[in-house]
Amino acid sequence: MKYIKVKWMHTSPDDPVMLYSELNPELWEERKVEVYADGRADFADSEEHSGSTKLGIEPFPTMEEIATDPQFEPVAISAAEFESVWEQAKARN
* pLDDT in the model for residue 93: 84
* pLDDT in the model for residue 40: 93
* pLDDT in the model for residue 52: 93
- HSE (side-chain half, CA atoms, 13 Å) at 16: 19
Which residue in 1, 58, 57 sits closest to 24, CA to CA?
Answer: 1
Could you tell me if 21 and 89 are in contact, meaning their C-beta atoms sit under 8 angstroms apart? no
CA distance 57 to 60: 9
Number of domains in the chain: 1
33-62 residue pLDDT tens = 999 999 999 999 999 999 999 999 999 999
Could you tell me if 30 and 45 are in contact, meaning their C-beta atoms sit under 8 angstroms apart? yes
The average confidence (pLDDT) of the chain is 96
Domain assignment of residue 68, given as a range: 2-92
67-77 residue pLDDT tens = 999 999 999 99
The DSSP letter of residue 20 is: E
Residue 92: pLDDT above 90?
Answer: no
